[in-house]
Amino acid sequence: MTNPRQLAFITLRDVHKGAYADVALDRVLQKVNLPDHDRRLVTELVYGSVRRQRTLDTLIDQFAKKKSHQQPPDLRTILHLGFYQLRYQERIPASAAVNTTVQLAKENGFSGLTGFVNGLLRQYLRKAEEQGSRGVGGQRSRGAEEKDSLLLPQSPIPSSQCPVPHFDPLQLPENPVERLGILHSFPDWIIQIWLEQLGLTETEQLCEWMNQSPTIDLRINPLCTSIEEVEAALQSVGLLVRRIPDLPQALRFIGNTGSIQKLPGFKEGWWTIQDASAQLVSHLLDPQPGEVVIDACAAPGGKTTHIAELMADNGKIWACDRTASRLRKLQENSQRLNLQSIQIYTGDSRHSNQFQNTADRVLLDAPCSGLGTMHRHADARWRQTPESVLELSVLQKELLTHTSTFVKAGGVLVYATCTLHPAENEEVISAFLAESPHWQIEPPRGIELAASAYSTPQGWFKVWPHRQDMDGFFMVRLRKTNNSE
């Protein structure tokens, strides 16, 4: 089977049964040999349909007699694929989107409902045509030249600079939380959390950023190469990269990369994949050669290996994690990067007592809801709940309380998460400091972050994706005073 839309349907069916989107997609793509452009189409249709699930369900609710949750599950999935192509894929002609969706219905047990599928999608297009066949700026829609009169406005999805176009068939409520939630496809509770921190305009900008396809950043290994050498090697095979301010080891790919493992320098350990925000964390820790450093939740090891590079691979780094399989990935990465200073410890850092007062520095990259990286994990917005966030905040407080005992007097602990929820960030740190008189927030050293766009008056760091164009992160550097023993 090599039909990209059928492969996307099979993948989405698994996702709607509970599979993780990336796992389900990888499982399907491994079974077929597709050209790169078809692989990209399958990936876009799967991740896009998962991300935009709430919006797509709202369109079904609006145009069908039965609500989305009342539709047969597989038919709902097929309708998601149809509406997603019509609404978000400008390169796919409207007629092709409709016809291929009808064909999907026919091939997957819904031959008797092909008229319903065809009618529903055409109703969406007719509504758009009735309300205005011209896009923003008076440009003709992409469907205006199609002989079958399947018209689709050029810009059906508004940006923060452009209010909801009058010709958008999607009907939105007045309530700002529900409006943003339906338009950008997020649960109301996430929208509410962002509105409280950012206000309306920036929340919409953040929503738009989170619905973009993610970029890929790499971190060069300065122990065996230079950023100039990696740039030249990648450019030699036609790949464009750009440097990232404040991060001396970081490069960002521009455009498609193909298979990462086949790129020059990967097997040789010249570089590894790591988002720019995650690279900031190790610079904030500022590890020094010869020190003892503990990475308390280390797997899969991106920050652990970065710490080793910053220490010139001179010292001892304990990489702790309770999941042995994830630690194996860390070992593979450290071997590929030719790092010798990393020691593996399998176990829960909340119950590890042998490390008390042994570390010059501790990194606690705490398990979190991942709300800062939802563009990378299409289904994360639907998997997390307010209740799961509260459960995670309890775990985070337990980890911070115990791992702080690993630090020698005068030592440093960096707490970091890739979430933007105050219950997992500011509230965890505030509670810890209120109970721990021998700890205090310390301005960073090493890379000049103190006056950067990430710093806050309270002394912690918050990376907002729509402002800094990188994953959302929270991080804070804490110092244990010398009289704390």
How many CA atoms within 13 Å lie on the side-chain side of 203? 23
List the one residue out of 234, 252, 169 whose CA is nearest residue 468.
252
Q: CA quadruple 67, 106, 170, 207: dihedral positive or negative? A: positive
Q: How far apart are CA 400 and CA 429, in angstroms?
A: 9
Strands (E), 146-265: 217-220, 240-243, 250-254
Q: How far apart are CA 462 and CA 284, in angstroms?
A: 12
Strands (E), 150-259: 217-220, 240-243, 250-254
Residue 330 CB partners (closer than 8 Å, separation 6+): 298, 299, 300, 301, 304, 305, 319, 321, 342, 344
Which pLDDT score is estimated for 361? 97
From residue 431, alpha-carbon distances to 23, 350, 455, 462 in Å are 37, 17, 20, 18
User: How many Cβ atoms from other residues are within 10 Å of residue 308's Cβ?
Assistant: 28
Torsion angles phi and psi, residue 335, rounded to 5: -70, -40
Reduced to 3 states (helix: H, G, I; strand: E, B; else coil), residue 412 is strand
Q: Answer whether CATH 3.40.50.150 is correct for domain 276-484.
A: yes
Which pLDDT score is estimated for 449? 55
Whether 224 is catalytic: no
Which pLDDT score is estimated for 353? 83
Q: CB of 307 within 8 A of CB of 287?
A: yes
Which pLDDT score is estimated for 165? 40
CATH fold for domain 217-273? Alpha-Beta Plaits (3.30.70)
Q: How far apart are CA 261 and CA 454, in angstroms?
A: 32
Q: What is the pLDDT along the chain (485 residues), one digit of tens a residue?
A: 789 999 999 999 999 999 999 999 999 999 999 988 899 999 999 999 999 999 999 999 999 999 999 999 999 999 999 999 999 998 999 999 999 999 999 999 999 999 999 999 999 999 988 765 433 333 333 333 333 333 333 333 443 333 444 478 999 999 999 999 999 999 999 999 999 999 999 999 999 999 998 999 999 999 999 999 999 999 999 999 999 988 999 999 998 887 888 999 999 999 999 999 999 999 999 999 999 999 999 989 999 999 999 999 999 999 999 888 889 999 999 999 999 999 999 888 888 888 999 999 999 999 999 999 999 999 999 999 999 999 999 999 999 999 999 999 999 999 999 999 999 999 999 999 999 999 999 976 545 554 467 778 888 999 999 999 999 999 999 999 876 44
Can you list the alpha helix ranges (DSSP code H) found in 404-462?
Answer: 426-435
Question: Which H or E element spans position 361?
Answer: strand 359-365
The active-site residue out of 207, 297, 368, 418 is: 418
Direct distance between the N- and C-terminal alpha carbons of the chain, in angstroms, rounded to an integer: 66
DSSP character for 163? P
Angle at 272 between CA 270 and CA 274, to 5 degrees: 145
Domain ranges of the chain: 4-169, 179-211, 217-273, 276-484
Decide: pTM greater than 0.85.
Answer: yes
How many CA atoms within 13 Å lie on the side-chain side of 129? 16
Q: How far apart are CA 298 and CA 364, in angstroms?
A: 8
Q: Answer whether CATH 1.10.940.10 is correct for domain 4-169.
A: yes
